[in-house]
Amino acid sequence: MTKNDLVRILGQGLDSKELQQLYIDELVREPGAKGCISVNGNWFIYSDQDERGNISFTGPFFENEIIYACSWLLKKEDLFEEYKTDEFFPKYMHNHFSSIEEIKEKYPEVNK
């Protein structure tokens, strides 16, 4: 899944204002920013930034699963139900990271 694929697919269900609330393959360190970023081809969502710019990453979400994860961040997941997988909620609930380095430690295969 590429950035262009994500923008195109999400743009089919979201209006441009909603889509602008999500940073795609761009890490923005400011309070309230949310988005997704690719770490060596695997996608992670981020949000819950505090005033210091501390970020919580969640993932990895593979292939089309990242579409549902992004829509979840915007509370528009009902528009993208077809991209939901059985693995989404376990990943969302249990795979939280505070840095990209932590992600790489947990998933060494991501470094390939």
**pLDDT on residue 52:** 72
Q: Which domain holds residue 77?
A: 3-111
Give the CA dihedral 38, 31, 19, 59, nearest 10 degrees: 30
What are the residues whose beta carbons fall under 8 Å from the beta carbon of 57, sequence distance 6 or more? 37, 44, 45, 46, 96, 97, 98, 99, 100, 102, 103
Domains contained in the chain, number: 1
Q: 88: helix, coil or strand?
A: helix
N residues, the chain: 112
pLDDT tens string 6-48: 999 999 999 989 899 899 999 988 778 899 999 878 899 998 6
**pLDDT on residue 53:** 67
Q: Among residues 86, 76, 58, 62, which one has the least CA distance to residue 12? A: 76
pLDDT tens string 38-86: 987 889 999 867 777 678 899 999 888 999 999 999 999 999 999 999 9
**pLDDT on residue 112:** 45
